[in-house]
């Protein structure tokens, strides 16, 4: 146990995060790097038009397969101004939601570890895009977001600098932040 | 050939240990592949000066005696300092001797060199922490029209053609090289990942004076919050100059250097940079200011008579740093990989490594190899260990540990199995 844990027991900070377990997991996985290899999965089925449904059931890690406690589904579609039926969020909005939840969850974990009690956290995420790229109308315009902005409104028992440090650290440790800011190799096959 | 201790490497750390062993009358030899201070002679760029001020350059029994305590040594001075030390302590150095293999034996270790084999009870690995420039795999994507350098092959801008230069990495090395190459008139881009920002002077005194006086350099490896992080922290953005000036991204940008995010990959000659630049700059500013606040608090507590506190300007990040750069279209002629260094322990044939090939050790006491010691690694025993003057204390303590090990071994009926219970 580190001194940080002692500090935590001294302070009744509870963000609902078991940060002791996370610290232990980090230690354990550092010594067993194979167990740290995870594979995350989703499947996506076309329903009709631009409407599709993605399902998330299980993943692999710690040397075995795991099932989520229940199966989660995510509906995606395009809005009516794109001549679609708007039966779900657009896929790009799901990306924004993923970024927001990754940063927010990470922020809560960092806050717990640093002994900072959160009262409320709201992230507003915006991505700007010129759809001429996606529509294939202008080859000089990219398909994806030009800029993404995340605005955090945070009420917590901490100084402004400590809150800014929380937000910075949550970006540093965020998987989705990394995924959207850095290139990844994507392989798409037909089976 | 037999001796009690073989010290591998006649740099500042190996020589400091030699002095400690001599003090304790422990028979030893210092093996050196080249000359004393070899890597300072052969693996540094021309303009490099130490990051630490002269007064901080001290080794066991020898301090700085020149007339410029606040200056920063150039390489010839560093070489003179270390070579002078080797003479002063009459270190038993065998130069021109390359260690090719170290193995465990029933009674200790066998050190094979290109000039014979040594048997010994104890080994001190002082071959340095920066033997190899760490070049990331993305380097494979650099077009053949571009010349690549590492800080070990780079000497000065004169070596480069007139085309643009991409410097990858913004630690002390990266910012110094970007600055120097820009001053030579070339177009320079610097790719910035996680970095440590520090002002050279704060409230009129060298930042290393503050860190020394406040006790930051004394923080022990078993006390720091996150040892893995502390040991892998990039070197701070500092430069030693006669003006004692600071070097930071604001200054580089003002000099016309293009600041971009961390290099992600290079495909079809196009380098892609991370969109995380703003956050990494925020983190570096926050951490610098946290350090300065700690120094301010200490200055207040100790009633230090220094200038009033202030904060350096926040890092000004371009609102939309470029995310990709076509190296051919942008006429980039050189990529410099200032992406860190790693030690070369390929000759060490004893199972002491972790899964990343790093020697497992407790403050320099190598785990799983009784009688083997490591020196000269980042935050080996305390934060000071990363700098030349860290060897003073590290070798005092590890020298004592080694001595106790030899004593306990002499008392044990099965010497090769002895594991002294003395902690690091």
N- to C-terminal Cα distance for chain A?
Answer: 49
Q: Looking at the predicted structure, is the pLDDT value of residue B8 above 90?
A: yes
What pLDDT score does A11 carry? 54
Residue of B nearest to A176 (CA): B276
Instruction: Give the three-class secondary structure for B33.
Output: coil
Tell if the CB–CB gap between A169 and B283 is shorter than 8 Å: yes
pLDDT tens across A92-149, in order? 999 999 999 999 999 999 999 999 999 999 999 999 999 999 888 888 888 999 999 9
H or E element that contains B289: helix B277-301
Count other Cβ atoms within 10 Å, centred on residue A53: 16
pLDDT tens across B353-407, in order? 998 899 999 999 999 999 999 999 999 999 999 999 999 999 999 999 999 999 9
pLDDT tens across B285-342, in order? 999 999 999 999 999 999 999 999 999 999 998 888 999 999 999 999 999 999 999 9
Q: Tokens representing B381?
A: 């025993």
Tell if the CB–CB gap between B286 and A164 is shorter than 8 Å: yes
Go through the domains of chain B in sequence order and give each one's CATH number. 5-131+343-417 (3.50.50.60), 134-337 (3.50.50.60)
Tell if the CB–CB gap between B276 and A182 is shorter than 8 Å: yes
Distance CA B94, CA B123 (A): 15
Contact B137, B383 (CB under 8 A): no
Strands annotated E in B274-363: 324-326, 332-337, 341-342, 361-362
- Select from 3.30.70.20, 3.40.50.300, 3.40.50.720, 3.30.300.20 the CATH code of A3-34+90-181: 3.30.300.20
* Interface membership of B228 toward A (CB under 8 Å): yes
The mean per-residue pLDDT over the stretch A69-76 comes to 97
- How do the domains of chain A map onto residue ranges? 3-34+90-181, 38-88
* Interface membership of A175 toward B (CB under 8 Å): no
Which of A147, A168, A177 lies at the smallest CB-CB distance from B282?
A: A168
Task: Tell me which residue has tokens 């890092």.
Answer: B315
User: Residue length, chain A?
Assistant: 191
CA distances from A51 to A66, A71, A190, B240 (A): 28, 19, 20, 61
Question: Which residues of chain B neighbour A169 with C-beta distances below 8 Å?
Answer: 283
Tell if the CB–CB gap between B283 and A168 is shorter than 8 Å: yes
Strands annotated E in B269-394: 270-273, 324-326, 332-337, 341-342, 361-362, 365-366, 372-374
Count of CB pairs separated by less than 8 Å, A with B:
42
* Interface membership of B276 toward A (CB under 8 Å): yes
Tell if the CB–CB gap between B225 and A182 is shorter than 8 Å: no
């Amino acid at each position: 146990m580190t001194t940080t844990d002692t500090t935590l027991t001294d302070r009744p900070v509870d963000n609902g995060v078991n940060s002791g377990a996370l610290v232990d997991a980090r230690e354990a996985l550092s010594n067993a790097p194979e167990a740290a290899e995870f594979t995350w999965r989703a499947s996506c089925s076309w329903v009709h038009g631009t409407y599709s449904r993605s399902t998330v059931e299980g993943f692999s890690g710690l040397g075995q397969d795991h099932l989520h406690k229940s199966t989660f589904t995510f509906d995606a579609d395009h809005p009516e101004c794109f001549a679609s039926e708007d039966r779900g969020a657009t896929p790009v909005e799901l990306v924004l939601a993923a970024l927001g939840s990754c940063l927010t969850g990470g922020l809560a974990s960092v806050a717990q570890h640093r002994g900072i009690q959160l009262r409320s956290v709201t992230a507003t995420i915006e991505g700007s895009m010129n759809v001429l790229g996606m529509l294939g109308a202008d080859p000089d315009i990219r398909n994806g977001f030009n800029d993404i902005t995340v605005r955090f409104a945070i009420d917590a028992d901490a100084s402004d600098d400590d809150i800014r440090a929380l937000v910075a650290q949550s970006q540093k440790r965020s998987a989705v932040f990394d995924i959207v800011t850095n290139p990844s190799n994507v392989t798409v096959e037909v089976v | 050939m037999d001796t009690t201790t073989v010290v591998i490497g006649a740099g500042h750390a190996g020589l400091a240990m030699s002095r400690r062993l001599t003090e304790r009358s422990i028979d030893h030899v210092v093996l050196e592949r080249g000359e004393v201070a070899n890597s300072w002679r052969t693996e540094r760029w021309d303009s490099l000066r130490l990051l630490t001020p002269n007064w901080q350059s001290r080794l066991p029994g020898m301090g700085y005696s020149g007339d410029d305590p606040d200056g920063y040594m150039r390489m010839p001075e560093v070489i003179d300092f270390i070579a002078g030390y080797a003479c002063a302590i009459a270190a038993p150095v065998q130069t021109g001797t390359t260690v090719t293999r170290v193995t465990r034996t029933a009674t200790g270790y066998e050190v094979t060199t290109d000039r014979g084999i040594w048997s010994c009870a104890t080994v001190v690995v002082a071959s340095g922490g920066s033997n190899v420039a760490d070049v990331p795999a993305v380097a494979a994507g650099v077009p053949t029209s571009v010349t690549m350098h590492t800080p070990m092959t780079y000497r000065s801008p004169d070596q480069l053609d007139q085309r643009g230069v991409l410097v990858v990495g913004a630690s002390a090395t990266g910012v110094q090289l970007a600055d120097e190459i820009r001053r030579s008139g070339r177009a320079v881009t610097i790719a910035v990942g996680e970095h440590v920002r520090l002002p050279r002077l704060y409230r009129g005194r060298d930042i290393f004076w503050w860190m020394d006086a406040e006790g930051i350099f004394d923080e022990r490896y078993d006390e720091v919050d996150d040892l893995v992080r502390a040991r892998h922290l990039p070197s701070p953005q500092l430069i030693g100059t006669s003006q004692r000036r600071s070097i930071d991204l604001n200054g580089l940008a003002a000099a016309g250097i293009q600041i971009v995010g961390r290099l992600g990959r290079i495909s079809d000659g196009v380098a892609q940079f991370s969109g995380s630049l703003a956050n990494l700059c925020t983190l570096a500013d926050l951490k610098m200011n946290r350090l300065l606040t700690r120094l301010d608090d200490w200055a207040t507590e100790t009633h230090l008579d220094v200038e009033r506190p202030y904060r350096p300007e926040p890092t000004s990040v371009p609102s939309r740093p470029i995310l990709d750069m076509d190296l051919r279209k942008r006429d980039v002629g050189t990529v410099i990989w200032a992406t860190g260094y790693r030690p070369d322990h390929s000759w060490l044939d004893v199972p002491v490594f972790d899964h990343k090939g790093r020697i497992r050790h407790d403050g320099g006491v190598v785990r799983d190899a009784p009688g083997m010691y490591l020196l000269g690694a980042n935050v080996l025993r305390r934060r000071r260990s990363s700098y030349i003057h860290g060897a003073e204390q590290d070798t005092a303590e590890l020298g004592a540990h080694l001595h106790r090990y030899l004593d306990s071994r002499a008392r044990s009926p099965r010497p090769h199995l002895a594991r002294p219970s003395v902690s690091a």
